[in-house]
Structure 1
Amino acid sequence: MLAPTSATQADVVFVTPPKSAPGWILEAICREIGSRLPGLDIRYCHHGEALPQASRYFFSHYMFYVGSLSKVRTVRRGQSFVFATHLEADKHGIPNESLARLLDSSDGVICMNEVLRAELQRLGVAPHRLGVAVGAASIQTYRPHVRQPDGKVGFCSAYYARKSPDLVLEIVKKLPHRQFLLLGKGWRDYPRFDELERQPNFSYVEAPYTEYPGYYAQMSVFVSASQLEGGPIPLLEAMMSNAVPVASRTGFAPDVIRHGHNGFIFDLPADANEVCSLIEQAYGLDTDVAATAAGYDWVPYAARIAALMGIPAPSTTTQGRAATA
């Protein structure tokens, strides 16, 4: 274990999304990791607030690191680690090549999938700075269920254009004999949502996150149709619940799915007929999908993050010290 170097210096400061962005999954990821770093002084700081002195900083988004570079260089006594899920140059207004140069000034970049690690290396980030920690979910929360021949086909995401809403609609219309459940938020902003909601085999649910396990238990197949992902985390939640995944080749889907064994992967751009065919194949799969996802629990995930930051492996039972918000 590491001891604080002073009464005021934290061992690890997690830089979380700004207060103006409540509910962002990155904050939840930080707190899940921090709660599993025993014996350390763990603190949380919203991006944009004054950074406490620390031995290590964990920036939950690369733009938080970019925006804090001058502050980190002024106050830091330790190292900076940057968590990266996927690249969106147009959204953030910084070319990928420029971002790579800035990331190469950090002490480490923790990628959520192998494809991103390879891309950042291609862009010029030194290989020794790059590591991969595929996402996690709780095996205590997402319990396996027995899949049913008439179980639902599920989707789970907030609405964004990159979530392929038109593809979702097309799939629902092409499989009228299947029942579809979309779990998420913001989908009423989809211009064609009225058409989607009118489909007799479709239901849309906005529910508290605590109720998600009950909805996953209704699914026999889970579809992730995104054009761009870092994860997605719901893919792991669904797999832990024993739903068969049918996922686009993006994010960590290729890291966790063996095509034809514990799920199916389709290439982008996606063809609705191909996806529908894979959904039908998924109903015939007899693999214990939950068993293949059990290793992606938060406990080994926190241990992997700790190792990438040079922190001794955390105990599987001990929780971290009370955190400072």
Structure 2
Amino acid sequence: MEPAHAHVAAAGEGDHDTLLGLLQRVQSAALRALGPHDFDPKLYVDLPLAPGADRAAAEAALASVTTREDMETFLARYFASAGSDLVEADPPDFEAEPRGFLPRVASREARAWALEVHALWKDLARRVAPDVAARPGRHTLLPLPGRVVVPGSRFREVYYWDSYWVVRGLLVSKMYDTAKDIVLNLVYLVEEYGFVLNGARSYYTNRSQPPLLSSMVLELYKATGDLGLVRRSFPSLLKEHNFWVSELHNVEIMDNHGRVHNLSRYQAMWNKPRPESATIDEELASKLNSTAAKEKLYHQIASAAESGWDFSSRWMRLDVL
């Protein structure tokens, strides 16, 4: 079996990489032109090329961008808005008040609030626009076969471990078809990349997130009895398991009795600034003197992001703060 990390190295080549390289240069130029106040580096690597815009022409035009006005004109000419390559998609299994919804909640106020939360599914449901699959070199968004539910705000794409909580919520809302779509989207990513990516962007092919796909399949099976989904997912669950026990993630730990235990660890396949946070990571690493020290820091940051705990005191050495 081909190692998952070898597959990922190949996935970083080609059109996505050339667009991503341009967008990272746009990101750096935007920081210089706009300044650091309220600057969101992720916005720039999420931009799709505008219809009819040429990447090479955008690359050439970027060289003359120095002011805020220059940057605003440049972005309007060459790029569509971030998130525009996801289109709204009303989930067909949504009901304003599903039968059997939260049967043990008697409080009127609590029930009204829960129904307001339930109604958010319509606001967060999307489909990947057809152009993403047809012309992947114009997007950092990755194609997915089914409906998606996005976290919202600046998180415009599917995320791995967020999807676990989304699926749990959809099951409470009796939205079984949408929950199944989400699971099958993640299965698709395993089939394409050998593991579930951190998120459905080309810049997330360097790491995963907590491996909860098997738990999602189990929760959906318990709610629906859909054995076909289990059979459909099982080969991908095995493939994901192989990814997490591979040499890359495996670590041997000896206990007090001398017994060796094989565990899996978060270990991103990356030693550069994260594209979605490159300006932040570069500033943090600027205090380090050597390339090796910077690469180690970048790797550790990406690995912490793979854990889903980005960032908490769990990964801080309080004795050196």
TM category (shorter chain) comes to: under 0.3
TM-score norm. by structure 1 comes to 0.23
Structure number with the bigger relative contact order (C-alpha 8 A, sep ≥ 6) is: 1
TM-score norm. by structure 2 comes to 0.23
If you compute each CA radius of gyration, which structure gives the higher value, 1 or 2? 2
